[in-house]
Structure 1
Amino acid sequence: MRWAALMLALVPMMASAQDEAAVGTGAVLRGLEKVSGDLVEMNLRPGEEASIGPLTVTLRECRYPLGDPAADAFAFVTIRDESEAQPIFSGWMIASSPALNALDHPRFDVWALRCSTE
């Protein structure tokens, strides 16, 4: 019961937070191959894909705080492994908290850096 009351109290705050976000024209993501230490920087627009090893990273959307494009980025990303039928990750990655909603892969890491605005 407390959980339901808490969620009802948070809904108006979440709605106002969404109103205060702007949508970027793309996102900058970074990938790490853990064995070799190779880094891959991916500049993606919504709907575009990039590869890191057997993984395909697709950007759906990137949001940032209104009026401050250099601030925190929230990127909605889908990641597929060529050996899996279903995506291995689909959700929002938060630049300031990469571990909050992270890709769980033994060999690769992918995280959001910032939104593009041009």
Structure 2
Amino acid sequence: MSASAQTAPPTRGDGGRQVPRYVDDADYDPQPYYVDGVEFKPYTPEKKKAKPAATPAAPAPQPTTPAASPVQELKPYVAPSAVQAQADPEDKPKAVASASSSSSSSSTASVSSYVPKKRPRYGTAIIEALDKVNAESVRFEAPIGQPVRFKGLIYLVKACEMTADDEAQNDVMAYMTVRTNPVAATNTSIGSKSKQIFQGWSFSSSPSLNPMQHPIYDAWVIGCRKPLGGTTS
């Protein structure tokens, strides 16, 4: 066997690099052979050292979900009295009845404990009249229920009273009616009937609260006299 028979011509491939075809040749004999008494061993391509396996990449950190805290169930607030009422349903009507009776008794006691005093009433009112044209002021007395004429007006006082001792502010008030004086017709003038110009309560502390509507005169109560029976002055 000659060397030429054992060795196949190299082929070019893989980008021009010579690649031996010893193993791929069908006539390849792996046994050693001799040429002129010299031993030759067939060429055995060295095994390529295996590349170390690539270190696997560390897995990407996964986001950690915080452990969910236990959800507490919300319950409606129940007052201790309601819990006791639910625990003792038979005693509930008795408790309600006793509470209502105690509240009614306390309210009755509070109402009955305070009785406002009656306002003292008088038989005569003291009226002050003002002439707004000449600023003349005159005071006169008007007995209860008796009309009094003054300056062309008729005053009729129906009540005159003062504040009681338990009231916060002292005041004098009178309920009166004021009318114009009727004028009889003459040959030269036309007569006029009586006309009401004021009716209501007049207060001494605030005469402008309920003023009399008249272009010339104004009047209000300033005091009371002659206490009536059953009242104190």
TM-score clears 0.5: yes
* Partner residue of 1:49 out of 126, 147, 151: 147
Q: Aligned to 1:117, what secondary structure does the other structure show?
A: strand
Asked whether 1:30 is paired with 2:128, we answer yes
Greater alpha carbon shift after TM alignment, 40-49 vs 100-109? 40-49
- The alignment's TM-score, normalised by the length of structure 2, stands at 0.39
Find the counterpart in structure 2 of residue 74 from structure 1.
173
User: Aligned in 2, Cα 1:102/1:37: closer, same or farther, shift over 3 Å?
Assistant: same
Q: Percent identity?
A: 28
The Cα shift of 1:87 comes to 1.5
Matched, 1:111 2:111: no
- 1:4 paired residue number: none
Q: More strand per residue: 1 or 2?
A: 1
Structure 2 segments unaligned to the other structure (5+ residues): 1-114, 182-191, 228-233
CA drift at 1:85: 4.0
| Larger relative contact order, structure 1 or 2 (CA cutoff 8 Å, min sep 6) | 1
Partner of 1:96: 205
Quote the offset at 1:51 in angstroms: 2.3
The question of whether the paired residues in 1 share the 8 Å contact of 2:178 and 2:196 is answered with yes
Q: Indicate if the aligned counterparts of 1:55 and 1:79 stay in contact, CA closer than 8 A.
A: yes
4+ runs of 1 displaced by more than 6 Å?
Answer: none
Instruction: Give 5+ residue unaligned stretches, structure 1.
Output: 1-15
Larger Rg over CA atoms: 2
When the two structures are aligned, how many residues end up with a matched partner? 100
